[in-house]
Amino acid sequence: MQRYTKIFEEIHANHPLIHHITNSVTVNDCANITLCIGASPVMAHAHEEVADMTACANALVLNIGTLDAYQVESMHIAAKSAERHDIPIILDPVGAGATSYRTKVAQELIDTYHITIIKGNIGEIGTLAGAEAKVRGVDAAFFSGQPDQVAMQLAEAKDSIVVITGVMDIIGDANRVVLVENGAIEMGIISGTGCMASSLIGSCAAVSSDFLAGATTALCAFGIAGEHAAMHAQGPISFKTHLFDALANLKSDVFFKEGKIQEG
């Protein structure tokens, strides 16, 4: 757990800037959860400034949850800038597999740029990996196969870290997977937790070149916060409030003690 705890502490010490081009449903939640872990969010998508803003950032998070042609072009401009400045790119292919447009946009991004971390549910990742999968709306509806193998397959094909979120989070590269068992069922009854997870992954990737460990740290911290929030919540809205508070108040010693990480 020591290396994960170190990444968690590095965020609070360095306050990295995380540039988001994200969806309109959860943009405020993503900004706030980024602040709660100790990083600084910025959300800019205007073509006139997106390259410059990306160049100033320590990580770039792209989320296609409410995509349109203008935003997609912003993502391409930002990704080009991130590659020029060696800034990690995190892609959340929300709803890939649900419509041909979403799938096409996500596929173009991972084919055109070196995406550092690809994070999605099993349906989204299965779709991008070419496995048999079905997505309804933005939720996984069907998947046939072994999630860990699909994660490693896509990771090898794209030279990326691949994250599959779920009851147990899977983080993989071409050679191995790490499992995170922290979390609470209540995290699935409010909107935006997947988007927030991407923001946290970006925050951790901003301070460590060990991107597999960074993604693992983010999901572990988020899962612990979810467990703490569930102990006090009386319903979805109070859970969400407690989730932000729990992450903001999470200390490194508690992270070290309560993290449930299985290394393969």
> What pLDDT does residue 130 have?
81
Taking the complete model, does pTM exceed 0.85, yes or no?
Answer: yes
Which of 62-71, 96-105, 175-184, 220-229 shows the lowest mean pLDDT across its residues?
A: 96-105
pLDDT band per the 50, 70, 90 thresholds, residue 141: very low
Specify the CATH number of the domain 2-263. Answer: 3.40.1190.20
Q: What is the overall mean pLDDT for the chain?
A: 93
Q: How far is CA 132 from CA 76, 146, 171, 176, in A?
A: 28, 11, 20, 22
Over 80: is that where the pLDDT of 28 sits?
A: yes
* Mean pLDDT confidence for 212-233: 98
Helix (H) or strand (E) holding 175: none
> What pLDDT does residue 264 have?
75
Over 80: is that where the pLDDT of 134 sits?
A: no
> What pLDDT does residue 131 have?
62
Over 50: is that where the pLDDT of 181 sits?
A: yes
Helix (H) or strand (E) holding 12: helix 2-14
> What pLDDT does residue 142 have?
45
Q: Please, which residues bridge with residue 30 across strands?
A: none
214 within 8 A of 171, measured Cβ to Cβ: no
What is the token pair recorded at 95? 């709803």
Determine the 3-state secondary structure of 229 from DSSP.
helix
* Mean pLDDT confidence for 2-16: 97
Over 60: is that where the pLDDT of 110 sits?
A: yes
Which of 98-102, 116-120, 168-172, 183-187 shows the lowest mean pLDDT across its residues?
A: 98-102
**Domain limits, the chain:** 2-263
**Greater confidence, 110 or 139?**
110
pLDDT band per the 50, 70, 90 thresholds, residue 123: confident
> What pLDDT does residue 207 have?
98
Q: Please, which residues bridge with residue 139 across strands?
A: 136
> What pLDDT does residue 259 have?
97
Question: Which ranges of 38-189 would DSSP assign to H, the alpha helix?
Answer: 50-56, 69-84, 100-112, 122-129, 147-158
- Provide φ and ψ at 208, rounded to 5°: -145, 135
CA atoms of 178 and 49, how far apart (whole Å): 37
Percent above pLDDT 90 for the chain: 87
